[in-house]
C-alpha cells in the first residue's frame, strides 16, 4: 500500500487527509497511476500532486486548478458566455454569434485532442450548423464550419476529444406552401421525420474533414439526444443515437456509420 497526501479541494490545500492507493500485483505492480485529465503520473508534491475533489474523484492539482474554473453557456440570442466560477458578478467574456439562432450545444476543443486545461476554442451548434469560437485571446470572431452548411436544421452535435470525431445531426427542411396548415398529427408523428447524421474529423486547429453521412429518423419537434461512448485507447469509440422510426438505440462506428449494435428501447422511454 502506498500513501499519498490529498487536499480536500483545489481551493484549500492546507487541509489534507490520507488516501491509500493499492498497487496491482504481478506484472502490473510497476504500472503508474495516471491523472485522468493530462494522463501524466502522480507526484506527492509540486504542481502535479494528487488531489481529491469533494465528489471523490482523483486528479492532478495543477490540472484542476487550471481547467475546472471555466464554464460556457450558449444563449437563445446566439451568443456564448465564458464564466469563471471563482467570481460570479458577470461573465469573463461575451462572444457575439454569426446569427441570432439559439445555441444548443457547446464542446471544448484543446490543442492536443485530450481533455486538458489548454482549451483554445469552442465548438457550438445551432440550427444553422456548427460554429467554432476562438477563446485563446485572439480578436478573430466565430466561423461557420463549412461542411455543416446544409439544407437541414442542425438539432444535435457530439464531439469525441480522443478521436477528434464530430457528428452533427440534422432534421430535413420541409417546404410548406402558404395555403397548407400542418396538423397536430403531422407535427407529432411518433415515428419521427427524415434526417441525417454527418461525421467530420477535426484536423488541426480549425480544419474539419467530412468523412461520411447517413440517413436517420429524428424527433420532429425536440432536439435530438446523441453522444459518443469512449472506450479508451484500446478500442474504437462509438456514436450513440436513437432512431425514432424503430424506437431503437443505435451504436455506430462514426467514420462510416457502421452499426455495431441495436438496442430496443422501452415503449414508455422518451429518447
**8 A C-beta contact, residue 17 and residue 3:** no
Q: Judge: domain 69-264, CATH 3.90.1150.10.
A: no
Q: Please give the pLDDT value at position 63.
A: 66
Q: Please give the pLDDT value at position 135.
A: 78
**8 A C-beta contact, residue 41 and residue 34:** yes
Grid cell in block for residue 125: 451548434
Return the domain boundaries, the chain: 2-65, 69-264
What would the mean pLDDT of 152-167 be, rounded to a whole number? 93
Q: Please give the pLDDT value at position 4.
A: 39
| Residue 147 pLDDT grade (very low, low, confident, very high; cuts 50, 70, 90) | confident
Give strand pairing partners of 215.
Answer: 196
Taking residue 49's Cβ as centre, other Cβ atoms within 10 Å add up to 18
% of the chain residues with pLDDT over 90: 35
pLDDT tens digit sequence for 9-27:
444 433 333 333 333 334 4
Residue count (the chain): 271
Q: Which of 2-11, 13-22, 26-35, 101-110 has the lowest mean pLDDT?
A: 13-22
pLDDT tens digit sequence for 220-230:
989 999 999 98
Most confident of 103-107, 137-141, 204-208, 234-238: 103-107
Q: Is the pLDDT of residue 210 over 90?
A: yes
What would the mean pLDDT of 42-71 be, rounded to a whole number? 66
What would the mean pLDDT of 119-128 be, rounded to a whole number? 89
| Residue 235 pLDDT grade (very low, low, confident, very high; cuts 50, 70, 90) | confident
Q: Is the pLDDT of residue 82 over 60?
A: yes
Q: Please give the pLDDT value at position 64.
A: 63
Q: Is the pLDDT of residue 48 over 90?
A: no
Encode the chain in three state secondary structure: CEEEEEEEECCEEEEEEEEEECCCCHHHCCCCCECCCCCCECECCCCCEEEECCCCCEEEHHHHHHHCCEEEEECCCCCEEEEECCECCCCCEEECCCCCCCCCEEEEEECCCCCCCCEEEEEEEECCEEEEEECCCCCCCCEECHHHCCCEEEEEEEEECCCCEEEEEEEECCCCCCCCCCCHHHHCCCCCEEEEEEEEEECCCCCEEEEEEEEEEECCCCCCCCEEECCCCCCCCEEEEEECCCCEEEEEECCCCEEEEEEECCCCCCC
Q: What is the CA radius of gyration of the chain?
A: 22
Q: Which of 111-120, 196-205, 225-234, 262-271 has the lowest mean pLDDT?
A: 111-120
| Residue 205 pLDDT grade (very low, low, confident, very high; cuts 50, 70, 90) | confident
Does the model's pTM come out above 0.85?
A: no
Amino acid at each position: 500500500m502506498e500513501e499519498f497526501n490529498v487536499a480536500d479541494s483545489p481551493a484549500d490545500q492546507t487541509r489534507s487527509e490520507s488516501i491509500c492507493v493499492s498497487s496491482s500485483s504481478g506484472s502490473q505492480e510497476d504500472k503508474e497511476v495516471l491523472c485522468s485529465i493530462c494522463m501524466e503520473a502522480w507526484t506527492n508534491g509540486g504542481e502535479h500532486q494528487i488531489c481529491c475533489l469533494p465528489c471523490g474523484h482523483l486528479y492532478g492539482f495543477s490540472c484542476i486548478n487550471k481547467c475546472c474554473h471555466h464554464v460556457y453557456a450558449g444563449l437563445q440570442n446566439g451568443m456564448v458566455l465564458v464564466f469563471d466560477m471563482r467570481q460570479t458578478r458577470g461573465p469573463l467574456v461575451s462572444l457575439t454569434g454569426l446569427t441570432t439562432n439559439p445555441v444548443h450545444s457547446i464542446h471544448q476543443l484543446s490543442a492536443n485532442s485530450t481533455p486538458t486545461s489548454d482549451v483554445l476554442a469552442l465548438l457550438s451548434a445551432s440550427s444553422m450548423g456548427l460554429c467554432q469560437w476562438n477563446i485563446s485571446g485572439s480578436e478573430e470572431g466565430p466561423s461557420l464550419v463549412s461542411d455543416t452548411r446544409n439544407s437541414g436544421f442542425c438539432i444535435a452535435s457530439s464531439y469525441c476529444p480522443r478521436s477528434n470525431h464530430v457528428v452533427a445531426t440534422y432534421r430535413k427542411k420541409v417546404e410548406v406552401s402558404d395555403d397548407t396548415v400542418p396538423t397536430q398529427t403531422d407535427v407529432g408523428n411518433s415515428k419521427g421525420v427524415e434526417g441525417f447524421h454527418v461525421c467530420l474529423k477535426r484536423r488541426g486547429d480549425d480544419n474539419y474533414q467530412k468523412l461520411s453521412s447517413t440517413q436517420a429518423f429524428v424527433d420532429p419537434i425536440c432536439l435530438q439526444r446523441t453522444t459518443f461512448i469512449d472506450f479508451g485507447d484500446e478500442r474504437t469509440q462509438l456514436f450513440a443515437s436513437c432512431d425514432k422510426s424503430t424506437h431503437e438505440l443505435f451504436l455506430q462506428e462514426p467514420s462510416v456509420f457502421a452499426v455495431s449494435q441495436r438496442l430496443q428501447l422501452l415503449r414508455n422511454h422518451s429518447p
